[in-house]
Structure 1
Amino acid sequence: MKNLFKSIALIAVFAILITSCSKKNDQPADQEVKTEQKDKVLAYIKNLGFTDAQIVDKGDRYVVDGDMVVDKNMEIPADNGMPKTEQYYNGYLVTNSNNILVKVDASITSMAAEINAAIAQWNAVPNSKIKFVLTTGSTYDILIKVDNTIGASVCGQAYLSTSNGKAGSVVWINQALIQGNSFAQRTRTITHEFGHTISFKHTNQSTTINVPGVGGTDALSLMNGGQCGSGATVLSAKDKLATAALYPL
């Protein structure tokens, strides 16, 4: 979380189409497709205002500004990721928002209390149908797990919601980094990352898709980036308004 986006408790689309202008004649056709798709996604991220320094290549995905994870095979949104002027989210809403199944990996069962507290915050948002539900079954929407290798100053990472209406599939928590934080701050990390899975981006991010009717900055937003261990520990009034605006009852 410590290098998070900058925008309001919300989300924002990534997109810009670009074709590959130089390919080796002996390059396999399938590799050409993979390279072209990778270039499109990279260009799309940069079109939102992010620099090379903020984008890390992790093989089959990019990690942007510390904790936002984007698959290289993502579908490029129809509006090509052009910045809007309202409030921030990634443009992809979760279809089963009233029953998002979360599975707790064995690696993070010691943080069950923090996970429960984070889920309770999202589920209690007034006038919103968002509901995270814990499951132990083999079918789930989100897997939350420990990954202490995601970065020396990165408290957590998560996939954003996808173009097919699914929640971001994985949340990674750097337990080794946050274990010395207070219970409230550990819960904040998990709550923040869950926010990304349902399309919210960083409230203090400047180039993303805005949530209609919920504008302006919000120093109290739990979805502000770069505040792991020191930021707001509860969803702000605007965080809740934005959630209700995107996922109304």
Structure 2
Amino acid sequence: MKHSNGLHISAAICIVALTTLFFSCSKNDKDLKDPSPVPNAKEEMTNYLVNQGFDQQHIVFDKDRVVIEGDIVITIPELKKRVADWKAEQKSGVPQTEQRRGTYIVGNAYNTNIKFYIDPAVPTVWRTAIEGAVNNWNAVNGTRLGMSIVTNQASANTRVFMGYENSNWIARAYLPGSDSKPGVTVEINSKYNTLSASQQLFAITHEFGHTIGFHHTNQTTGTLIPGTPTTDPNSVMNSTVLPWNGFTAGDIKATQILYPQ
């Protein structure tokens, strides 16, 4: 999506070029312990991601994680699990599926109250956006989805924290894992602390969408959710930042389908 000032966002990967801003999803490196993949395993994982619709040129292996399309981040252990599940489905003859969702969504044990913890270093402007994003998702009618902010990190599902990189991403988040838990972190790039409040709200609402399983609506990765539009230029899950103007009918329909009451 493009705003009058030319700002763009991209999520679970984001880029900034001159006046263009993109989102990105990732996990804190220090939390990742698994070793980098060996070459043959890397080729197999790359083949899997290409099969899922990702452009091979936008797949980057970075230490213990893979960054896709600039703002989608998956740990190597999680990616290995996805490849194994995919291979098992192929052998079993299960049909491969093609708004868009990822392979996994948040299970019923977590999706009625996804708990976000905000690190103390997160400034007030972003705290306001985080609170607004929680309210946005909670206001979607006809779903079992619920979110809250907790003050104890140990009780949280997802940690929201600040980072800094002189790069093209505004924020980045993990997708849900094969354990059916929400994406584990949302990282905000302090380089973009001066975005308007409305754009920050859009950005965090977008990233929270990644933590519950949504891909970008204007790209071809993930699976098209049946019953939702194939194009939705004002969707919160589009890859260009806009001033927040509410969810589209497609956003609401997709949420209702993934998380029905």
Fold conserved between structures, TM > 0.5: yes
Change (3 A) 1:239 1:166: same
Equivalence map 1:81-230=2 (5 Å): 84-85=97-98, 88-95=100-107, 96-110=110-124, 111-137=126-152, 138-149=154-165, 152-177=167-192, 179-225=193-239, 227-228=240-241, 230=242
Code of the residue aligned with 2:44 in structure 1: it is K
Cα deviation for residue 241 of structure 1 reads 0.8
SS at match of 2:128: helix
Contact 1:54-1:66 within 8 A present in 2 as well: yes
CA deviations on 1:176-224 (whole Å, 9 max, x unpaired) are 22x2221110111111110000000000111321212223210110100
Change (3 A) 1:71 1:33: closer
Contact 2:117-2:151 within 8 A present in 1 as well: yes
The whole-number CA distance in structure 2 between the counterparts of 1:210 and 1:139 is 33
Code of the residue aligned with 1:92 in structure 2: it is Y
Code of the residue aligned with 2:159 in structure 1: it is L
Structure 2 residue corresponding to 1:73, chosen from 70, 77, 82 = 77
Moved more, 49-58 or 216-225: 49-58
Code of the residue aligned with 1:163 in structure 2: it is S
The whole-number CA distance in structure 2 between the counterparts of 1:118 and 1:214 is 22
Greater RCO between the two (CA within 8 Å, min separation 6)? 1
Contact 1:105-1:145 within 8 A present in 2 as well: yes
CA deviations on 1:213-249 (whole Å, 9 max, x unpaired) are 2232101101001x13x36542211101100111011
Code of the residue aligned with 1:59 in structure 2: it is K
Identical residues among aligned pairs (%): 30
The whole-number CA distance in structure 2 between the counterparts of 1:5 and 1:98 is 22
Code of the residue aligned with 1:65 in structure 2: it is E
SS at match of 1:106: coil
Change (3 A) 1:172 1:33: closer
SS at match of 2:101: coil
Cα deviation for residue 131 of structure 1 reads 0.9
Contact 2:35-2:63 within 8 A present in 1 as well: no
Contact 2:10-2:216 within 8 A present in 1 as well: no
Runs of 4+ in 1 over 6 A off after TM superposition: 30-33
Unaligned 5+ segments in structure 2 are 1-7, 14-33
Code of the residue aligned with 1:208 in structure 2: it is G
Using the size of structure 2 for normalisation, the TM-score is 0.76
C-alpha RMSD of matched pairs (Å): 2.6
Code of the residue aligned with 2:138 in structure 1: it is N
Change (3 A) 1:188 1:124: same
Using the size of structure 1 for normalisation, the TM-score is 0.79
